Structure 1
Amino acid sequence: MSNDWQRFFTADRPHAVRRGRGPGDRSLIVVESEDGPRLSLWEAGRGTVRPLDQVTSGDLVQAVLSSDGGQILALHDDNGSEVGHVHATGLDDDASRDLTPDLPPYVLRGIDVAGRADRTVITCAAEDGFSLWLLSTDGSAEPQLLFRSPHEAWNGLVSTDGTRASVDTTDHNPGVRRFAVTVVDTATGEVLDRLTDGPEAPVRGVRFSPVPGDDRILVATERTGFARPCVWHPIRGTRVDIDAPHLEGDLVPLDWSDDATRILAVHVDAGIHRVMEADLESGTLRPLDHPPGAYFEPDVANAHLHLWASHYGPGSTVRLLHQRFDSPLRVLHTTGPDSAAVPVLFPQLDLDGVPFTSNPVRSTDGTYVQLWWARPRHAKAPGPLILNLHGGPNMVSVDSYHPAAQAWLDNGVAYASLNYRGSVTFGRRFREGFMPMIGDRELEDIEAAVRWLVAEGVADPDKVFVTGASYGGFLSLLSVGRLPGLFAGALAHVPIADWLTGYEDMNPALRAAWSSFFGAKPEDGLERFVRASPITYVADVVAPVWINQATHDTRTPPKQVRHYEEALRAVGGDVVVDWYSGGHETTGRVKALAEQSRMLGLVQAALRQQPWSQGVL
């Protein structure tokens, strides 16, 4: 086996570029280095990029700049546990200050900074529920509680002048993951208004107007069943909806221009991205000129709505964050619909990767799911294939760069990534299509994808492997239990293997989410949790199983993985668990490369019919 594939892991890979809210034009660049995320400061007006090597602590992937641009705000936790406190760290020193020293440890579910005031809001989830706090980063004021609820509340935002804040809440519909946007006065905590489109249609906050004194807020609504931008004025009680009835699929709002006259959005049609700009004064909606690829990636259960997203720069500038399966993130510059996109940051690396194709696949009940796939270069016959299942479940596989995908292809293994029911950007019905019988619809979609790949001559039916992280790891384990014989092996990263034990140990934010997805807590819906648990089906597993599990993970806790390992081994299953010190996310190129090498060895062993538990050379 050649080591040429390692080139896909060895270069520094940008994760995100996140523009600061304050005056000027400063942006944080998050890059995956050898040993984890590292930050740099991009000052586009000066054309400079400065490494922030002194800032090494905290969840740097979710970090933001303070309003004055002089501090990094990030959650500091215990070895990746995602439970801790937000700290402020100066750009020019490594002094770190806890901004909420008197609060019990919490999970961060939102952080936003006022552009023209020393104000930051954080959304916290703890054992006593969900809360929204107003912080002063210079230490001049104590943390102020703005909102508290026993029900899910995420994604707190703050207005540019710091006088208003919003949070996505479920008080209007407790126990159901369909948010409304609640706006409060930061001086008093008084609720000023709430925007809801009824119990069926969620509303999510995106960003307050960048103009000081302008109380309008950009939100995403789903009145039609698909995401659409809406500009809401909570004080006046007015709204402007961009319905775009001529478009099929989601139109996801990302940002608005510094003068608050234009909205940047991405139309997602069957997984394909098309960036558009809405002019609020003329009412026009026009596509921008850009190359094929992905321009944002939705997130779930973190401090931001997106892992990375295109956004506005100063004036009429649009910064398109662009990726493809064969091309790492780069920043393209354009000034509107009539301007060609020009690279300004991270010139595209020529790593000689393989581009991917998107295809619709008809599932068991006739629902179409979307599949990204690629054959190894020069492949002429069906061969081994890796089917990747993204996490979430309310996340999505977009046309973005994946070193692992290219590594498999470089080693003669085809690769596919499935957007099963539960994925976002395909409308509300699709996103919620996995509930409340967790796993049932997803397995139908997975089986349909494998059948399609075999029928198209991409995969040898006896050499298909399944992999995924988090919820994708859970589905990998569930697949080899409930679809025995379909897969030649499962490679599961930080999975849920036993929902009952996992629910007891996971952090409070996740417990609230999963009781919503299941439509019940374990004591009220025991049969649903048992049916969805891979541990229930260990006696039916015939394929080898590898699990890569973290010691401090509070999303997919360690104990439930140990239970699964013991149960599968007790019935004679071929199972291997590799443990690493850390939390839910794998960080650092060195570790990612080691994990990929491990998986390549396991797949090669399986193709030789060598049991994994006997050791893989």
Structure 2
Amino acid sequence: MHDADLTPTWEQRFRAPRVSLPDWADHAPERSLYHSNTSGKYELYAWDRKTGEQRQVTDRPNGTMLGAVSPDGEWIWWFKDGYGSSVPDLPSDGDEFGVWMRQRFEGGPDEEAAPGLAPAYPVGLTIGSDGLAVVGRSTDEDGSTVHVVRPGTDPVTIYRHRESAGVSALSEDDTLLVIEHSEHGDTMHPSLRAVRLDGTLVADLHDGVPGEPPASGLEATGFAPILGDSRVLVRHQRRGRWEPLIWNPLTGEEQDIDLGLPGEVAVDWYPDASAILVEHEHHARSELYRYELATGTLERLETPPGTVLGAGARPDGTVEYLWSSGERPSELRSTGGGTVLVPPGERAPGSVPVEDAWVEGPGGAIHALVSRPAGVGPFPTVFEVHGGPAAHDGDHFAPGVAVWVDHGFAVVRVNYRGSTGYGKAWSDALRQNVGLTELEDIAAVRAWAVESGLADPGRLVLSGGSWGGYLTLLGLGVQAGDWALGLAAVPVADYVAAYEDEMEGLKAMDRTLIGGSPDEVPERYAKASPITYVDNVAVPVFISAGVNDPRCPIRQIENYVARLADLGVVHEVYRYDAGHGSAVVEERIRQVRKELDFVARHLPRR
């Protein structure tokens, strides 16, 4: 009997090796970099496509999440965090505060990639030729800064602002840079600025009156990958959803591209800049297209039903893409046929298909995704609330959902107002009524789930991580009586204390969402904060938290937990040595085991 036969199916799903979409060197596309959990935690791997050799690049106690390969394929850059501890020599892995390191593609010692730049939060990196790099950084003291790094010289600061900004794109000839910024104070709708590498202004692209918050947002994908071509591929929201345009900052010319597709798109260049690769997202599923710039022809590329989790066009014109569905684990495929890279080990067991539910809510039709166990309902049901809030749930493989289905639960995921993928009006709708807007949509779907016979009203679990953890705690207080218990991972629990301790970029996001700082609009923060409603919580609560988390810091969680203790509410807290979640497979399994055990002990029985 194999060991896998003795391991619960849900654990096999978490342990099964998986790979990310590879990032390849622009000028040496046989050299690729990808993430994998093969070692038991997510690390970076180099892949030489000529020889087939795959080599683990990083090996850190809590994994490594950020990396890039230089255009010539000679260097791998990776981000080393853990510099945020106030105690000397005490590492704080997962705090996202650190420095860029680099290592030769073939292997060898690591070295600091940008000597002279102090530790900071990363806000973008782009690598040019001959060792040139442009590094974006964020700190509480300096706000957002952009630095040009050249070998043998001190870094040069070419941009600085208190509001959020980051590095977006570098031209092929290393002369032009695009910075995405929110100098106007609205991080949900950034603007673009093109500069030369000495910081001098070339052009601004801003969808609104200069100096005022824009009507819609702009995002830069990249410059055309042709030497001397100054065109930039951009996404805009001018028609109420994400669509593409091409902007030339040297001439000011804009080429609007109306694809005629019903959903929202992400775009990238083909390597010869003759076409763009389109990832079309609609109703929580996605597909790929090739758009020919010369003729305006839009060609659909064959992909299975489900979700494309990332895609890139190779020099030979084929497209590699990472795909999965609710039933099937992720696969790295090519439009040329077959799978591209199969990690060693057993493939993850599959799960059940995802069903769609459309529920009329106070702000319009709400899309929910349902995963249903075998048998006849009503079922105990987990409402698994996604994070972000600028994200959404889709028809893709999710081990955290499948574990509940294995245990006889239905799982409902709600793409509430604030979610991406349903247009600008939907994603913007939560502003200045943060948390409560999302809960209205969750309540509407909850009512549908009960009335339809799917969900047992006495056995409903509210669960989520990050923003989903925040909505879980808020929901347990605001919608007391609707839920049997709550599971909150890395949540916002005390909004004011969270604002005080979180990274600078999230402070800016909170000011955008809520309409100011806690000093400026204290009543709005009180209205949005779970700790305001903690006296109403009357069901068991399980909270997990990373002690080094810079996004949902530990102090504000401890404030909330202390109030639960004072009130005598049944609760358990699991603290682990990492940041905003864990990249270690066994740590993630440990957390799920604790949640399963908590639910088994505290959920009412029928």
- Aligned residue number for residue 466 of structure 2: 470
* Residue 358 (str. 1) matches residue 383 (str. 2): no
* 1:64 has 2:60 as partner: no
**Partner Cα separation in structure 2 for residue 215 and residue 58 of structure 1:** 40
The 1:29/1:100 distance shift into structure 2, 3 A limit, reads closer
Shift of the alpha carbon at 1:480? 0.5
In the other structure, the counterpart of 1:271 is 284
Equivalent residue for 1:214?
229
Q: State the Cα deviation string for residues 540-576 of structure 1 (Å, max 9, x = none).
A: 1111111101111111111101100011111121111
Residue of structure 1 equivalent to 2:505: 509
Separation (CA, whole Å) in 2 of partners of 1:117 and 1:165: 17
Indicate if the aligned counterparts of 1:5 and 1:411 stay in contact, CA closer than 8 A: no
TM-score (norm 2): 0.92
Instruction: Give the match's secondary structure for 1:267.
Output: strand
In the other structure, the counterpart of 1:553 is: 549
Contact 2:62 2:578 in 1 (8 A): no
Separation (CA, whole Å) in 2 of partners of 1:382 and 1:40 = 45
Mapped partners of 1:276, 1:593: distance in 2: 37
1:272 deviates by 2.2
**Is the CA contact 1:40–1:49 (under 8 Å) kept in the aligned structure 2?**
no
Report what 2:87 is aligned to: none
How much has 1:252 moved relative to structure 2?
A: 2.3
Q: CA deviation at 1:349?
A: 3.6
Across the aligned residues of Structure 1 and Structure 2, the Cα RMSD in angstroms comes to 2.2
Give the CA deviation at 1:55: 5.0
Residue 329 of structure 2 aligns to a residue whose secondary structure is strand
Aligned equivalents of 1:457 and 1:538: distance in 2? 30
Partner Cα separation in structure 2 for residue 412 and residue 33 of structure 1: 29
On the 8 A contact 1:436/1:518 being kept in 2, the answer is: yes
1:90-489 equivalence runs, <5 A: 90-114=104-128, 116-127=129-140, 128-136=142-150, 139-171=151-183, 173-175=184-186, 177-186=188-197, 188-198=198-208, 199-244=214-259, 246-253=260-267, 255-296=268-309, 309-334=310-335, 341-346=337-342, 349=347, 351-363=349-361, 365-376=362-373, 378-489=374-485
Q: How many Å separate the matches in 2 of 1:257 and 1:59? A: 32
Answer whether contact 1:82 1:554 (CA < 8 A) is retained: yes
Give a deviation string over 1:293-337, Cα, whole Å, max 9, x none: 1113xxxxxxxxxxxx211111211112212223232222115xx
Q: Render the CA deviation track for 1:232-259: whole Å, top value 9, x for unaligned.
A: 1111211211123x32221222x11110
**Cα separation, 2, equivalents of 1:14 and 1:183:** 34
Between stretches 202-211 and 365-374, larger displacement belongs to: 365-374
For 2:330 and 2:549, locate their aligned partners in 1 and report how far apart those are by CA, in whole Å: 28
In structure 2, do the counterparts of structure 1 residues 221 and 91 end up closer, same or farther at CA, with 3 Å as the change threshold?
same
Q: 1:589 aligns with which of 575, 580, 585?
A: 585
> 1:54, CA displacement in angstroms?
5.2
CA displacement at 1:58 relative to structure 2: 8.9
Distance 2:62 2:316 in 1: 33
Distance 1:456 1:32 in 2: 40
Residues 35, 589 of structure 1: 8 Å contact kept: yes
1:18 aligns with 2:23: yes
- Give me the whole-angstrom Cα distance separating, in 2, the residues matched to 1:594 and 1:94: 34
Measure, in 2, the Cα distance between the counterparts of 1:240 and 1:13: 39
**8 Å contact kept, 1:252–1:267:** yes
Contact 1:123 1:133 in 2 (8 A): yes
1:492-523, CA deviations, whole angstroms, 9 ceiling, x for partnerless residues?
A: 11100001111111111111111111111110
Alpha-carbon distance change, 92 to 593 in structure 1, aligned in 2, over 3 angstroms: same
**Greater mean alpha carbon deviation, residues 155-164 or residues 463-472:** 155-164
Q: 1:107, 1:547 → 2: CA distance?
A: 26
* Secondary structure of the corresponding residue to residue 389 of structure 2: coil
What are the Cα deviations for residues 359-393 of structure 1, in whole angstroms up to 9, with x where unaligned? Answer: 32221x141222111111x2212111111111111
Residues 105-131 of structure 1, C-alpha deviation per residue, up to 9 Å, x if partnerless? 2111212223x5532222211121111
The equivalent of 2:86 in structure 1 is none
Q: What amino acid maps onto 2:263 in structure 1? A: G
Measured in 2, the distance between the counterparts of 1:493 and 1:58 equals: 18
Deviation at 1:204?
0.5
- For residues 532 and 566 of structure 2, what CA distance do their matches in structure 1 show? 13
Q: 1:394 to 1:54 in 2, by over 3 A?
A: closer
Aligned to 2:483, what secondary structure does the other structure show?
coil
2-side partners of 1:420 and 1:147: how far apart? 36
User: What amino acid sits opposite 1:144 in the alignment?
Assistant: V
* 2:495 equivalent to 1:499: yes
Residue 479 of structure 1 deviates from its aligned partner by 0.6
Match of 1:81 in 2: 95
- Please state how far the C-alpha of 1:2 moved relative to its aligned partner: 8.4
Deviations along 1:188-239, one digit per CA (max 9) or x if unpaired, are: 2111011122221211111111112211111101110111111111112112
- When residues 130 and 117 of structure 1 are mapped into structure 2, their CA distance, relative to the original with a 3 A threshold, is same
Describe the shift of the 1:221–1:58 C-alpha distance in structure 2 as closer, same or farther (beyond 3 A). farther
User: Secondary structure at 2:288's aligned position in 1?
Assistant: strand
Q: Which amino acid aligns with 1:236?
A: T
Offset, 1:455: 2.4
Whole-angstrom distance in 2 between the partners of 1:111 and 1:176: 19
Q: Which residue of 2 aligns with 1:613?
A: none
Shift in Å, 1:158: 1.3
Say if 1:251 and 1:268, in contact at 8 Å, map to a contact too. Answer: yes
Q: Look up the equivalent residue of 2:239 and give its one-letter code.
A: T
User: Which of 49, 54, 73 matches 1:50?
Assistant: 54
Q: Specify whether residues 70 and 358 from structure 1 end up closer, same or farther in structure 2 by C-alpha distance, changes over 3 A only.
A: farther
Taking a change above 3 Å as real, the CA distance of residues 593 and 58 of structure 1, as seen in their structure-2 partners, is: closer
- Residues 565 and 56 (structure 1), Cα distance of their counterparts in 2 relative to 1, 3 Å cut: closer
CA contact (8 A) 1:386 1:416 kept: yes
Residues 456 and 36 of structure 1: CA distance in aligned 2, closer, same or farther (over 3 Å): same
- 3-state SS of paired residue (1:342): coil
Deviation, 1:278, is 0.9
Secondary structure at the aligned position of 1:60 is classed as coil
User: Alpha-carbon deviation of 1:49?
Assistant: 4.5
In structure 2, relative to structure 1, the CA distance for the partners of 1:602 and 1:63 (3 Å cut) is same
Q: 1:2 to 1:486 in 2, by over 3 A?
A: farther
Aligned-partner Cα distance in 2 for 1:2–1:413: 20
Rounded to whole Å, the distance in 2 between the matches of 1:87 and 1:294 is: 33
In structure 2, how many angstroms separate the alpha carbons of the residues matched to 1:120 and 1:399?
37
Specify every segment of 5 or more residues in structure 2 that has no aligned partner in the other structure, as ranges.
1-5, 83-92, 209-213
Amino acid across the alignment from 1:316 = G
8 A Cα contact 2:195 2:203, kept in partner:
yes
Aligned length in residues: 583
| Aligned-partner Cα distance in 2 for 1:356–1:542 | 32
